Structures are given as structure tokens and as C-alpha cells.
Structure 1
Amino acid sequence: MSTDVASLIGSLEENIAKVLLGKDEVIRLCVVALLAEGHLLIEDSPGVGKTSLAKAIAQSLNCQFSRLQCTPDMLPSDILGSSIFLPNQGTFEFRKGPIFTNVLLSDEINRTTPRTQSALLEAMMERQISVDGQTYQLDKPFLVIATQNPFEFEGTYPLPENQLDRFMLCTTVGYPDRDAERLVFNSHRTGEPVDDLQAVMTDEQVIGLQQKVRKVTVEESVADYILDLVQATRENKELSLGVSTRGALTMYRAAQSLALVEGRNYVIPDDVKRLASPVLAHRVVCRGVIREGQRNRARQILQQIVDTTPVPS
């Protein structure tokens, strides 16, 4: 990997780390999703920094940024936009919604209805939207960062499987350790650190890195290893829903991105192992597990699959 690429990625991670202290692995996964042209779902308890992390990513990129505070009364037109009648001209004019941006933060996505959630599906998969029979292309790069609290059920709507499958990575932030939390006190003494972040990467540089990701080599043995893991999820008796073909392709692309971020132009099996839980756990459904324990049990099953699946040499 060239010095310029390493410097760019390093600057981005260091910038985000000014806001999210002591969470290097979480930050790395977020950068992996960005460079792999994927989308990111952040699940965790309230107050651990989900929204701050999403805002830090957006602030670090010299790109357009929009934020949606999801509510039960939100409509698809509040995201996509709508046609407005112009009486003086006797015609309709399309007014673009907040989805016409580079980085879209959908805060507390599970507080809005499935109908409104579905407005994101076409945009996340095809980088376009369709309104009133017209198709509108979205600018590149395009990244959706969604947050949700998985422990609060009152007034929420669980994300359906087809929506979850559009997110490349699902990660948690977790509580900081004591030393990091003390640093949080100091950094917030005079204000919000995220408001002071400066952009360290342009949209052209992001697109350039995304193109480099696609050139990272994946040997046939590593590709077969990904397929073995995916097939194991479909055959596991504890899972009622295994990983889709889209999920397999997503793992392939995420592994390429992680390799680039780690400074290599080739994927190794350890990249796949490291990504198994964040890429695949939200794509499977466990049998006989209540909603609250679904994700934790999925991670345990995936770890068992990783531990028992032969690794290519």
C-alpha cells in the first residue's frame, strides 16, 4: 500500500478517535464500511456515543451531511422528497429530500415505521431512488449510518431482514474503560469535541480509496473459505435463516476493505475471521430466541462456525 493511502486512512481514524476515545476496533470497522461502499448499523445502549461516532465520521469527510431523527410519524417523503405543485407554471417540481447527500445519519432508525424504513432500501442497494415514476441517481460517495437501541422496545419497530441485509456491518460501541471515560470528562469540559473536528478527506479521495478496495486480491482458497462459512450458516440447525448471497458478497468486499486498511493488497483468512460477527451476525435468525437475545446468540453461533470451519493455509 502506498504511503499516501496509509496516511489518508490513518488521518481519518485519528480524527474520529478524537471523539470516540479508546475504541480503535470500532473506528476501524466504520472505516472498512466506508471504503467498501457499504452502510453501517450501530446498535448499543443510550449514551455510549453512537450518534457522536456517526457525526465524527461525517465531520471528517468534506462531503454533504444530512441527519434524520426518526420518529413514528415520519413519512417516506420526509426522506426522499416530494413533488410540489407550482400554480404559476401549472406543473409539479420535485423537491429533493435529505437522502440526497453523501453521508446520511438515520438516528434511532427503529423508531420509524417499516413503511418509512423501506424508503431507504433502493437507495442503499442501488444508489438511486424512484419517486412518481422518475428515477434519481444519488451522488458518490453515499453512506448510510443508522443507530438504534436494541434494549428499548416501547414505541419501536424491529428492522425487517431485508433492511438488515442492506447494512454491510453491524457493530456496538460499548462502555469505555475507566481511563478513557476520565478523558471524556476532560474533552467535554468546554463543549462537544465533534463540533471542532475538521475534514481530513475529500469526496474524491474517498471514491479513489473505494476503487482501490476493489483491486485487492482475494485468492480462490480465501473465497472458498467465505463460501464455507456462509454455507455453514444455512445448514446450522440453530439458525432458521442463514446468510444470503448478498451477505456473502458483502463479506468478500468487506474483507478486501479490511486488507487495504491494514496495509495489504491481498486478503488473508484472518480478515474473514475478524469480520464474521460484524458482517454476518445481523443477517441470520436464531431459532427459539427472544428478540432481546437474538444478536448475542447469533454471535456465539457464528464463533462456533468459525472455530469449526477448516482454514485455508
Structure 2
Amino acid sequence: MLMEMENRTTVQEFTLEGFPAIQHLGKVLFLVHLLAYLASIAGNAVIVTITCADSRLHTPMYFFLSIFSFLECGVISAVIPKLLAIFLVDRKIISFLACFIQAFVFLYLGAVGFFLIAVMSLDRHVAICKPLHYPTIMNLKTCFLFVTACFTLAFPLITGLVVKVSQLSFCGPHVISHFFCELGPLIHLSCSDTRSTEILALVLALFVLFTSIIITIIAYSNIVVTIMQLPSAKEKQKAFSTCSSHLIVLSLMYGSCVFIYVKPKQTNRLESNREAALVNMVVTPLLNPVIYTLQNKQVHQALRETMYRMKISG
């Protein structure tokens, strides 16, 4: 396939435009984004580690959360290191192959994340609407099947799209109006007829996004109905609190991606998309560990005990 890709293009590398208006602040931006990146990796790694280490967190909710944190680490690690190189040494060149690998990893893990968000909504639905059957329905086998389905479903969708874009003819210009290899700006650079590719990209984006949204809306509609039927205000508050963190995270994900990928065309769309994507790439993965652990007593206790054991062993 690589030979076919090379035969269809005269462009062997691309230039990532980055943020030329603020490139003079490169070293400051490098430091800020490096700290945010390290904090995001550390925060999500802590969730994965304590979920594996503490038996009290061996539940479906924390299992899915650890997978989600792993995906977050993968997504930002596919993009942020190259952005740091742009800020620090103005290294904007990326090879043709590396560009499409970056695009694939970003889109694939992102799509898996959206499907996983829907699965987490189903998990909360079963926990609140069918609490007596929850241990039976959401057993270990079911959890693994759900996660496997997320990874399996996303693979042909994203692979097909990335391969189709890679087979377009790129005969110049080679400057991508973004800070990473996002498929939209890449398609705009092609000198081929891209109408079918743009339609495919839009259809797949809508499928991934709205499949996740529809499942989430149905699950939470049933959750709200069930909670409103609870007899006491205390029970209602407790039930809502088990969903609050998940609701905040999915609102951040859905809101940012609808803004980036589904809004109508505008003259400044690429520029605004770039800024929104940066916020989505840097801020959201940093907030997710905080949101999920801020008011979670189980996680707080597991963290304290883990740190105590490390202190004792040290």
C-alpha cells in the first residue's frame, strides 16, 4: 500500500502551520503546553494505576474509566509532542507517512473514546435503573465485550477513511493549516476531486458522534425518569451524584467536537477549529482526572493508601 501511496503523490512531506501569529512566544508556549501535557499524562496514569492496584475499584465504572484514561494518554501523545517541537525549535516538517499515522492514531483512539462514553452511559443506566441485576448484567465478560466492541467497530471506519485520504493526489501546496495532521485540512490540500472523500468524512464523523450521543440520551432519559421516581430527596441526590462526573466529561467532549466538526462552513472555520482543537487537546484531558476524582471518596481513599504504601516501602 505504501508503494501505491508514493505513486499517487509528489508530496513526500508536509509543513504544519501551527500558530504563526504567536510563534514568537514559542518558548513560553512550549513550557505551558509541556506542563499541561505532563500533568494530563500523570493524572490519567494515576487513574489507570490505582484502578489496577486497588481491589475496591475493580468495578465496571472504574474499569471503563481506566480504559478511557488510557485512550486520553494515547490521543494527546499522538499530537502534543510534535506541537512542542513546533513551539520550541519551529520544527514544522512532518513526513507523508508520519502525518497519516498521526491522523490515524488521533482519529481511531478518539472514535473509540466516543463509543466508550456511550458504554459508560449504559453502565450508569443499568446501575441506577436495574440495581439488583447490575452485578449479573455488567460482569467482567460483558465489560470486556463492550470494550472490545468499541475498539473493533472504530477500526474499519477510521482505517477506511484514512486510507482513502492517503490515496488522494497531493501535488502542492504542502502547508497544513493546523498544528497536527487533521484530515479536514489535509483533504483541502489535495489536487484530486475530494467531494466523495469529504462526504465520507462527514458521514463517519456524524455516525460516530451521533451514535454515541443517541445512546447517551436514551440512557440518561431513563436514568432521569428512574431518579425522579425515588421517594426521598437524599436518594435522588445520591443517584445524580454517581452520574455527575460522567455528564461533565461527555458534555466537554460532545460540545467541543460538535463545534469543531459539525458546525456550518465559515470563512474563518479552519482558524477557529485550530484554536478549539488546541483547547480540546490540552484542557479536556487535563480536566478529566480532576473531574472524576475531585468528589470521589473511593478514589481519594485509594490514592491515600497507595501513597502511604509507597512511603512505607520507600
TM-score, normalised to structure 1's length?
0.24
| The structure with more radius of gyration | 2
The structure where strand makes up a greater share of residues is 1
- Which is helix-richer, 1 or 2? 2
* RCO higher in structure (CA 8 A, sep ≥6): 2
